[in-house]
Amino acid sequence: MSSVSRLIMAISLRMPPLSSPLHSKWPCSTIRHPSIGLIRRSFAVKASGFENENREFVIIGGGNAAGYAARTFVEHGMADGKLCIVSKEAVAPYERPALTKGYLFPADKKPARLPGFHTCVGSGGERQTPDWYKDHGIEVLYQDPVVGFDAQAQTLTTSSGKLLKYGSLIISTGCSATRLPEKSGGNLPGVHYIRDVSDADSLVSSLERAQKVVVIGGGYIGMEVSAAAAGWNLDTTIIFPEDHLMPRLFTPSLARRYEELFHKMGVRFLKGVRIEKLEAGPNGRVATVKLGNGNTIVADTVIVGIGAKPVVSPFEMVGLNTSVGGIQVDSLFRTSIPGIFAIGDVAAFPLKIYNRVARVEHVDHARKSAQHCVRTLLTSHTQPYDYLPYFYSRVFEYEGSTRKVWWQFYGDNIGDTIEVGNFDPKIATFWLDSDNRLKGVFLESGSPEEFELLPQLARRQPVIDRAKLKDAPSVEAALEIAKNSMS
């Protein structure tokens, strides 16, 4: 089949049925969008080696999702001379979790470095270095983010002034770190946020000369960055307003286990307090953290991990979800405008297994949504995205660590909890609803076979004998009870 025939087929397949709530009663080539009015789509885009402004397929964003999308284009023979990636970063897409899980280690503890963690090594795939993109005929515009978007003309404008005309567009702009206000000291030298490799480089430079580190936020970033700082043997304090670590997932009992471990590793906790402002010293660099209770903490390096926001500008007209944030898409990652898709952190998608709309900021979803979207675009694949929520963390994995931590969670953390194990090293937590049906499961320090069991349990949601589970003498016994309940 010729590339033109494939493109025509892809266009016909990506048009939603007339019954679709996103495209109800819209004709194939002309649509009336609720925000920008009548749009006449031009699907015939000439792509001849990129000697002009036309691109068949454009991915906006150079993160993890973009890398996995590129690999899927290559697998379908539709990348060479057809695909362009527009990125604000200076490097090719990489496995972003490495930034807080391995990149921040000191030099003597074998830190992660590029090109070691370019996509798609996180899922066992080929390492996609810049040469990989060149070899597969994929154009990557580095450090040239999109600043303008015209859905009617099907054009993008980049910060350098390039005008790109696209046939199909995939938005994978991800998230940006939530920042403290400038008036609160959020932009002082020595204050760090971590979303990309340049942020990580800047933080490593600070850690090399730091003495007192404060980490603001008790979520993923807080846990992983404070664990890395402990690897430098630095005076480290983690501050957050909640009652315990990782409040969106951990139970109080589970959080206590991790807090005790972090304390043994040299990390102090200030819980239930808020930051009033960060104050500079005589040299203009951050020197103290002033708390809402009036106390102050000395710090020469501060890392802020208080959440992230989906990057939707300049794509608001495509259609945003006001409940979960991000760009609204259907189960095939199609937006309200035919030919435009959104994936990864920025996509608000139907979470089929729990019958609700969700936006998931996680590498696993970034990978899977990218692959699902591109298959939808290029083939007759029309199966709805059926994602099972999955989260994990790995900390204290540096050379010489006395305790390496690796936990996984699958499912939904709703209902009553049953905790099994003593955290020496294993512990498991099960979430059961009022009908004793398993909704979610958490495991620390499991074997490969035990971790493989978790998604099966979370997807099958078996009814479990609550009394037997409570009386289980070990994590292994509890998992066996759960496993047997599936049959």
Task: Give me the pLDDT at residue 396, please.
Answer: 95
Among positive and negative, which fits the CA dihedral 69, 73, 74, 79? negative
Tokens linked to 149:
């978007």
Instruction: Tell me what the mean pLDDT of segment 424-439 comes to.
Output: 97
Question: Model confidence over 111-146: pLDDT tens digits?
Answer: 999 999 999 999 999 999 999 999 999 999 999 999
Task: Give me the pLDDT at residue 310, please.
Answer: 97
User: pTM of this prediction?
Assistant: 0.89
Q: How far apart are CA 324 and CA 349, in angstroms?
A: 10
- DSSP character for 140? E
Task: Give me the pLDDT at residue 309, please.
Answer: 96
Residue pointed to by tokens 């807090």:
259
In the three-class reduction of DSSP (H, G, I as helix; E, B as strand; rest coil), residue 327 is classed as strand
Task: Give me the pLDDT at residue 380, please.
Answer: 85
Task: Give me the pLDDT at residue 19, please.
Answer: 33
Instruction: Tell me what the mean pLDDT of segment 312-326 comes to.
Output: 96
Quote the crossing angle between the two packed helices 252-264 and 220-231, to the nearest 10°: 20
Instruction: Tell me what the mean pLDDT of segment 455-460 comes to.
Output: 98
Spatial contact of 301 and 214, defined as CB atoms under 8 Å apart: yes
**All residues at 6 or more sequence positions from 328 whose CB lies less than 8 Å from its CB, including other chains:** 319, 320, 321, 335, 336, 348, 357
- Distance, CA of 328 to chain centre: 17
Angle at 148 between CA 163 and CA 195, to 5 degrees: 110
Spatial contact of 245 and 218, defined as CB atoms under 8 Å apart: yes
Q: How far apart are CA 127 and CA 481, in angstroms?
A: 40
Instruction: Tell me what the mean pLDDT of segment 275-300 comes to.
Output: 97
CA dihedral defined by 113, 115, 119, 123, rounded to 10 degrees? -70
Q: How far apart are CA 312 and CA 437, in angstroms?
A: 38
Average pLDDT, the chain: 91
In the three-class reduction of DSSP (H, G, I as helix; E, B as strand; rest coil), residue 416 is classed as strand
Q: Flag the least confident range among 17-21, 302-306, 461-465.
A: 17-21
Burial class of residue 1, CB neighbours in 10 A (0-12, 13-18, 19+): exposed
Spatial contact of 193 and 199, defined as CB atoms under 8 Å apart: yes
Quote the crossing angle between the two packed helices 197-207 and 220-231, to the nearest 10°: 40
Bridge partners, residue 407, by sequence: 393, 444
Task: Give me the pLDDT at residue 28, please.
Answer: 43
pLDDT band at residue 9 under the 50/70/90 scheme: very low
Task: Give me the pLDDT at residue 381, please.
Answer: 82
Task: Give me the pLDDT at residue 24, please.
Answer: 34
Question: Model confidence over 147-198: pLDDT tens digits?
Answer: 999 999 999 999 999 999 999 999 999 999 999 999 999 999 999 999 999 9
Q: Indicate if the pLDDT at residue 105 is higher than 70.
A: yes
CA dihedral defined by 107, 96, 155, 167, rounded to 10 degrees? 120
Q: Indicate if the pLDDT at residue 398 is higher than 50.
A: yes
Task: Give me the pLDDT at residue 13, please.
Answer: 38
Question: Model confidence over 22-81: pLDDT tens digits?
Answer: 333 333 445 556 555 555 555 444 444 555 578 899 999 999 999 999 999 999 999 999
pLDDT band at residue 15 under the 50/70/90 scheme: very low
Pairing of strands 30-33, 37-40: antiparallel
Instruction: Tell me what the mean pLDDT of segment 4-17 comes to.
Output: 39
DSSP per position, 12-38: HHHSPPTT-TTSTT--SSEEEETTTEE
Q: Which of 73, 193, 195, 216 is nearest to 139 (CA)?
A: 73
Tokens linked to 142:
């580095």
Reported in sequence order, the residue ranges of 217-285 that DSSP labels E, i.e. its strands, are 235-240, 267-271, 275-280
Task: Give me the pLDDT at residue 399, please.
Answer: 87
pLDDT band at residue 102 under the 50/70/90 scheme: very high
Q: Flag the least confident range among 28-32, 234-238, 261-265, 327-331.
A: 28-32
In the three-class reduction of DSSP (H, G, I as helix; E, B as strand; rest coil), residue 308 is classed as strand
Task: Give me the pLDDT at residue 35, please.
Answer: 58
Helix (H), strand (E) at residue 200? helix 197-207
Q: Which of 242, 236, 240 is nearest to 263 (CA)?
A: 236
List phi, psi (to 5°) of 347.
-90, 125
Rounded to whole angstroms, what are the CA distances from 110 to 100, 224, 283? 14, 16, 33
Q: Which of 442, 434, 451 is nearest to 411 (CA)?
A: 442
CA atoms within 13 A on the CB side of 450: 21
Q: Indicate if the pLDDT at residue 4 is higher than 80.
A: no
Task: Give me the pLDDT at residue 34, please.
Answer: 57
Spatial contact of 385 and 349, defined as CB atoms under 8 Å apart: yes
Spatial contact of 283 and 171, defined as CB atoms under 8 Å apart: no
The length of the chain in residues reads 487
